[in-house]
A = this chain, B = another copy of it.
Amino acid sequence: MSTIFFYGPKLDKEKSKEIIRDFTETASRLTGIQNSAFVVYLRESTPENVGVGGELLEDRLRKK
């Protein structure tokens, strides 16, 4: 049994399906555990709730 957590931006439905499928295939191939034993959680994180290098990501993106 294996569990993957992804903390990142919200993905639309097609991309959510693709990230789940690809992560599961990669992990299943490398561990030798069957696909059905994998759970992937997509945990949305927004620029207001993440800090990078000591700065709010929201502020950091605005500067660019």
Interface residue ranges, A against B (CB under 8 Å):
1-9, 11, 13, 15-28, 30-31, 33, 35-45, 48-57, 59
Contact = CB atoms under 8 A, between A and B. Distances in A.
Q: Is the interface of A mostly helix, strand, loop or mixed?
A: mixed
- Max chain B C-beta neighbours (<10 A), residue from A2, A35, A45, A49: A49
A44 to B, nearest CB: 7
Given A3-B8, A11-B30, A22-B22, 13 more contacts: A3-B7, A3-B39, A7-B41, A8-B27, A17-B56, A19-B30, A23-B51, A24-B51, A35-B54, A38-B51, A40-B50, A41-B49, A44-B49
Contacts of A33: 8-9
